[in-house]
Amino acid sequence: MSQEILEQLVASEPTPGEQHFPPFEATAEIEALADERIRHYPESQLSAVLPLLHIVQHHFGFISKEAITWVANKLEVEPIKVTSVVTFYPGFRQHAPGKFHYRVCRTLSCAMGGSYELMDTLCEITGIDRSKLSHHHPIVVSPCGNYSVEFAECLASCGTAPVCLVNDDFHEGVTADKAQALVDSYKP
């Protein structure tokens, strides 16, 4: 696949979540963070592609085309190598999520514990159209841009099902009746 076709594939669509993230910029801080990570891989710079993409996503909410170009230049590889990684991993987003991104585990033990009901309730509370959530649209952002939801696969805490992540915070035993309290604990 040519770089051009791939670029069209990963072209970021605007979402209401964007207001919460600064546009991509390779500031001195970002450069320093990246250089520190690259040091961990003396054998091959390319190995730092995941860590660099994590830095980008952490600071800017998602991986934009500009960010891909920056990572590629930083690692002295073709942008297509970075693009192919971004498009593979479910952990990398190409559109901005909400300010609070909910990842609800949908795998067996959590589903048995009621995680699908949790997702339905979260969508209701946050004004997200549940029917939009699908294989092709794994992330849906609320119209106000404050919330987004996504299903996750087994989060390795099946004994305390159902579980979810809100940004980087982990929550266990979140049955649907606890959804409102959870949402309330993250005031936009």
Partner 1 sequence: MSEIQYLPGKEPHPCEHRLIFKNIDRQGWDTSIETYMADGGYDQLKKALTMEPQAITNEVKTSGLRGRGGAGFPTGVKWGFIPPGNTKPVYLICNCDESEPGTFKDRYIVHQDPHQLIEGMVISAFAVGAHTAYIYMREEFPEAAITMEKAIEEARAKGFIGKNINGSGFDLEIWVHRGAAAYICGEETGLIESLEGKRPYPRIKPPYFPAALGLYMAPTIVNNVESLCHVKHILEMGGEEYAKLGVERNTGTRILCVSGDVKNPGYYEVQVGKLTMGELINDVCGGPKDGRKVKAVIPGGSSSKILRADETFKIGRGDDAKEITFWDIQLDFDTLAACGSMAGSGGVIVLDDSRKMSWVLNNINHFYAHESCGQCTPCREGSTWMRKLSDRIVDGSANPEDIQTLEDVAYQIDGKTVCAFGEASSWPVEAIISKFRDELIAETSENNKHLSKEQLQREAYLAQ
Q: Which of 105, 119, 123, 166 binds ligand FES (CB under 6 A)?
A: 105
Distance CA 181, CA 172 (A): 13
DSSP-derived secondary structure for the chain = --HHHHHHHTPPPP-GGGGGSPPP---HHHHHHHHHHHTT-TT-GGGGHHHHHHHHHHHHSS--HHHHHHHHHHHTS-HHHHHHHHHH-TT--SS---SEEEEEE-SHHHHHHTHHHHHHHHHHHHT--GGG-SSS---EE-TTSSEEEEEES--S-GGG-S-EEETTEEE-S--GGGHHHHHHTS--
State yes or no: residue 46 binds partner 1 (CB under 8 A): yes
Distance CA 140, CA 98 (A): 9
Task: Compare residues 128 and 155 and give the one whose CB is closer to ligand FES.
Answer: 155
State yes or no: residue 173 binds partner 1 (CB under 8 A): no
State yes or no: residue 1 binds ligand FES (CB under 6 A): no
Task: Compare residues 95 and 106 and give the one whose CB is closer to ligand FES.
Answer: 106
Cis check: omega of the bond before 14, within 30 degrees of 0? no
| Site stretch for partner 1 (CB under 8 A), options 1-9, 18-26, 81-89, 141-149 | 81-89
| Site stretch for ligand FES (CB under 6 A), options 22-30, 53-61, 139-147, 148-156 | 148-156
CA of residue 129 relative to chain centroid, distance: 19
In whole angstroms, the minimum distance from the beta carbon of 137 to partner 1 comes to 14
Task: Compare residues 16 and 186 and give the one whose CB is closer to partner 1.
Answer: 186
Task: Compare residues 14 and 42 and give the one whose CB is closer to partner 1.
Answer: 42
In the window 106-135, what residues touch ligand FES (CB under 6 A)?
107-110
Give the count of residues interacting with ligand FES (CB under 6 A). 12
State yes or no: residue 175 binds ligand FES (CB under 6 A): no
Q: Where does this chain bind partner 1 (CB under 8 A)?
A: 40-51, 53-54, 75, 81, 84-85, 88-92, 103, 106-109, 111-112, 135, 152-161, 165, 168, 170
